[in-house]
Amino acid sequence: MESTQAIQYAQNNRERYLAELKELLAIPSISTHSQNKPDIQRAAEWLTTQLTGMGFENIAILPTAGHPVVYGEWLHVPGKPTVLVYGHYDVQPVDPLIEWTSPPFEPTVRGENIFARGASDNKGQIFAALKALEALLKNEGLPLNVKVMIEGEEEVGSPNMARFVAQNKAKLKCDIILNTDMGVQRPDLPALTYGLRGMVYLELWIYGASHDLHSGGFGGSVANPAAVLCELIAGMHDADGRVTLPGFYDKVRKLPDEERAEIARMPFSDDEWRKMTGVPQLIGEKGFTTLERLGARPTLEVNGIVSGFTGEGTKTVLPAKAMAKISMRLVPYQDPNAVEEQFKEYLRRHAPPTVRWEVRKLSSSPAVLVQRDTVGVRAAVKAMEATFGVKPVFKLEGGSVPAVSLFQANLGVDPVQMGFSLPDDNFHSPNEKLHLPTHNRGIETYIRFFDAAAGR
Amino acid sequence: MESTQAIQYAQNNRERYLAELKELLAIPSISTHSQNKPDIQRAAEWLTTQLTGMGFENIAILPTAGHPVVYGEWLHVPGKPTVLVYGHYDVQPVDPLIEWTSPPFEPTVRGENIFARGASDNKGQIFAALKALEALLKNEGLPLNVKVMIEGEEEVGSPNMARFVAQNKAKLKCDIILNTDMGVQRPDLPALTYGLRGMVYLELWIYGASHDLHSGGFGGSVANPAAVLCELIAGMHDADGRVTLPGFYDKVRKLPDEERAEIARMPFSDDEWRKMTGVPQLIGEKGFTTLERLGARPTLEVNGIVSGFTGEGTKTVLPAKAMAKISMRLVPYQDPNAVEEQFKEYLRRHAPPTVRWEVRKLSSSPAVLVQRDTVGVRAAVKAMEATFGVKPVFKLEGGSVPAVSLFQANLGVDPVQMGFSLPDDNFHSPNEKLHLPTHNRGIETYIRFFDAAAGR
């Protein structure tokens, strides 16, 4: 039996929910910037206040070697399953700031969307789950046991999560995991994610002369680290868009024919994707459709590059060093450590002896696949269908959530991957947004999910 | 007859000269930064005060569309030649600031050197010429007529100099030109420069998506402008270190055998050059020695590159755009406009249709060769030999001084290219310095040069 009172309550309280969400979005909890450490703490404290107000217990801000984890639990239905709800309260940096229509930490509603950094990734989603729990607790009551765990380092690759999960196995013990850091396909098409790409994020440094030189006085006699870096990066893809790191594809999971067929049935238009991104033409590895490339194939991307003089006007400098941030998205069966080693082997083979190079690892996590036939997934399918009026599609997601594989390995539970972001929410980009009608449907779906998971 | 009193005066006044030089070096007259415009004005005013104190006349700060030109004259020896002394009072930017041992605008003497931005390029050199003139004026008197012209935009490619020289032909009319923006080979080996490379300085912009994207959600479907920029830059050189722009070498002056032989006789050690620059190994175009490559062959260098996230930590962004500053050093007979067109043609041929590109010209000037058998050059040889005790070598210089070709074209005079910087003065780099013993020899050489040019 459905919790109609809870759903009614969520609908009646939309205005207050939105006001509270704005409070959370106004906190610049950027995990990669050390100067935002106090904001990270503020965001964590804001969440504990929410959990307290909802009636959760054993609420704590649990330290890690980096940013802390917010924890709370409500365990008063013995005999019923325990759900661990996962999300993260940290956000990406905001640059280039100039491209934001409204300031990233002044949440602003325009039309059906609210714009702010973190609106969709992941504050809006974890907030929706908390509000679903609140609605149940204030009405029919929670039909099962719930643990909430919200981390503060997802956007920097969760470097301390492996240790945290391993050390807190008992505390995190559960039957079902709900990973809220996910999205649907369209406002009218719900989706559950069964695969996530992993990631190896590296910095590559190229060193030439011991100091910057005059490009007229020295150009033509010593290697230019910026040019060498460009050559090395250019060589990392072949003409077919394949990554050339030695052995890169050796362990890559072959996409089963049935999954290819399923992906082909997904509503997706290359032309719409091209328009949404604003590129003249799509690109990618030969032999795969765009959706296959996005979810089922590994990639190598330059996330940033810098060398020499990049300010206004001219400076005739021959730079002493150059740096690129390069991340590889991995698919199942690729080992992040092996891929890091392939990257170094590529450099050993191709970096010229006229420079020195260095690789620094910033983060690393394997890809994951989750079971599609579990109690949790069945509950999610039922909840989505009841709310959206259509069955969800199953999809592979191009992004990475390091915690998921840690849950599989340490807790033995495959997460239900259900969130309500949209592909055009501008994750990690200027003008990140949350689509409020889909967000509200998300809150109702979560209410129905907890009911269905409890067999209510 | 030599001006022994003037030389004695210069030696006696070294301490005061150094104190005055420090005043000039303390002014951050960086021409490429608009925020330093007041400092540009201060440097110009400081120079007019110097000229006034020396007894110069018609002193003026002459406006251009950019930074002004400082002018002064002393024309009281009818029948004797007129020398136009050229230099520049603007300097390069100072970044990376962290690599300076002492702050760039707090001139600091350590050992035999004074360290400051502009110490050698070109404040120290033009200052030496002014102090030589002062020494003559306060003692035996000037043996010829002198015009001084000090510009404020050399470090940004002298964008307004063509117009200024063309409009001031009468004012700048002269028999001999002394270009002080030059150097010697070693403290014990004077040199005169007979060739300068030209330059085309461009910005190349690559545009992909209309906004930054999440590299997980979009990587593998749209072009990465940073990676495309790297591919384009990588393709600009072939395996032999030759520039691949179509037609780039068509007009390049073939180095005559006698000049190759002369260059081969220059004291130069690849191994010392390698140690001075700190690189593991030298590089360059096949078939030419290092000194030939530095002076007589054209080059293409990346002066700066930037795209995406380059701050602390990780951001999984697929950048929307990427930019590189690229300058080409030209040798005689290469046309800067033609080279700019070759650059664009390269892009038309090689830029993929998955991105858009744009080229912005920042500066442009042709290479120059000057006559080696003129009254001025003979006077310079005599002065250098008298001061250093050895004859100067003739050399090709890798840098560019746009004003020189403008003087040739508009005034019909080939400059004498004589200055006293050293190859290890860290032009355009952190810890720029001026070697004070060589600087003092420079002042004495200039005194003897004016005498010799006047036939005294």
In a domain, A280, yes or no: no
In a domain, A285, yes or no: no
What distance in Å separates residue A79's CA from the closest CA in chain B?
A: 39
Find the DSSP H helices in B13-167. 14-25, 37-54, 123-137, 161-167
Please report, in angstroms and rounded to a whole number, the separation of the first and last CA atoms in chain A.
5
Would the pLDDT of B387 be above 90? Answer: yes
| Strand order, beta sheet including B113-115 | B108-110, B113-115, B433-435
What distance in Å separates residue B123's CA from the closest CA in chain A?
A: 17
One domain, residues B101 and B167: yes
One domain, residues A140 and A221: no
Q: What is the dihedral of CA B370, B372, B376, B378, to 10 degrees?
A: 170
Of B349, B365, B381, the last residue of a domain is B365
pLDDT tens digits, one per residue of A328-379: 999 999 999 999 999 999 999 999 999 999 999 998 989 999 999 999 999 9
Nearest C-alpha in B relative to A429: B212
- Report the CATH number at residue A417: 3.40.630.10
Nearest C-alpha in A relative to B396: A217
Mutation target to probe the A interface, by most A beta carbons within 10 A, among B314, B360, B368, B432 is B314
One domain, residues B225 and B88: no
One domain, residues B226 and B89: no
Compute the average pLDDT of residues B27-37: 96
Q: What are the chain A neighbours of B33 within 8 Å (beta carbons)?
A: 311-313
pLDDT tens digits, one per residue of A366-390: 999 999 999 999 999 999 999 999 9
Of A365, A381, A397, the last residue of a domain is A365
Instruction: Determine the Cα–Cα distance for residues B6 and B444; give it in Å rounded to an integer.
Output: 9
| Strand order, beta sheet including A321-330 | A356-365, A198-207, A321-330, A299-308, B299-308, B321-330, B198-207, B356-365
Are B77 and B85 in contact by the 8 Å Cβ rule? The answer is no
Q: What are the chain B neighbours of A424 within 8 Å (beta carbons)?
A: none
Would the pLDDT of B281 be above 90? Answer: yes
pLDDT band at B397 (very low <50, low <70, confident <90, very high): confident
One domain, residues A87 and A192: yes
Instruction: Determine the Cα–Cα distance for residues A196 and A182; give it in Å rounded to an integer.
Output: 10
In a domain, B125, yes or no: yes
Range of the domain at A80: 4-196+367-453
pLDDT band at A295 (very low <50, low <70, confident <90, very high): confident
One domain, residues B110 and B12: yes
Would the pLDDT of A399 be above 90? Answer: no
pLDDT tens digits, one per residue of B44-72: 999 999 999 999 999 999 999 999 999 99
Instruction: Determine the Cα–Cα distance for residues B417 and B316; give it in Å rounded to an integer.
Output: 52
Would the pLDDT of B338 be above 80? Answer: yes
The domain tally of chain B equals: 2
How much is the ipTM here?
Answer: 0.84
CB-count exposure of residue B253 (10 Å: 0-12, 13-18, 19+):
middle
Compute the average pLDDT of residues B135-162: 96
pLDDT tens digits, one per residue of A92-103: 999 889 999 999
What distance in Å separates residue A152's CA from the closest CA in chain B?
A: 14
Smallest Cβ distance to B307: which of A197, A304, A428? A304
In a domain, B33, yes or no: yes
> pLDDT above 90 covers what percent of chain B?
90
Cα distances (angstroms) measured from residue B76 to each of A379, A388, B56, B143: 101, 95, 10, 9
Of B365, B395, B413, the last residue of a domain is B365
Q: Which residue is associated with the tokens 């000229």?
A: B51
One domain, residues A215 and A156: no
What distance in Å separates residue B73's CA from the closest CA in chain A?
A: 31
Nearest C-alpha in A relative to B285: A220
Would the pLDDT of B42 be above 70? Answer: yes
Are B169 and B411 in contact by the 8 Å Cβ rule? The answer is yes
Nearest C-alpha in A relative to B282: A222
pLDDT tens digits, one per residue of B242-252: 999 999 999 99
Smallest Cβ distance to B221: which of A221, A294, A427? A294
Would the pLDDT of B141 be above 90? Answer: yes
Are B105 and B117 in contact by the 8 Å Cβ rule? The answer is yes
- pLDDT value, residue A326: 98
Residues contacting residue B71 through CB under 8 Å, at least 6 positions apart: B58, B59, B60, B61, B62, B147, B148, B149, B150, B171
Mutation target to probe the B interface, by most B beta carbons within 10 A, among A97, A117, A218 is A218
Smallest Cβ distance to A353: which of B208, B220, B280? B280
Would the pLDDT of B1 be above 80? Answer: no
One domain, residues B394 and B352: no
pLDDT tens digits, one per residue of B174-203: 999 999 999 998 999 999 999 999 999 999
In a domain, A142, yes or no: yes
One domain, residues B65 and B166: yes
pLDDT tens digits, one per residue of A16-45: 999 999 999 999 999 999 999 999 999 999
Smallest Cβ distance to A327: which of B92, B316, B353? B316
In a domain, A216, yes or no: yes
Across the interface, whether the CB atoms of A301 and B227 are under 8 A apart is answered yes
pLDDT band at A437 (very low <50, low <70, confident <90, very high): very high
In a domain, A268, yes or no: no
Would the pLDDT of A174 be above 70? Answer: yes
Find the DSSP H helices in B138-240. 161-167, 169-172, 215-218, 225-234
One domain, residues A349 and A437: no
pLDDT band at B401 (very low <50, low <70, confident <90, very high): confident
Across the interface, whether the CB atoms of A157 and B314 are under 8 A apart is answered yes
Compute the average pLDDT of residues B319-327: 97
Q: What are the chain A neighbours of B31 within 8 Å (beta carbons)?
A: 313
One domain, residues B309 and B226: yes
One domain, residues B332 and B434: no
- Report the CATH number at residue B214: 3.30.70.360
In a domain, A287, yes or no: no
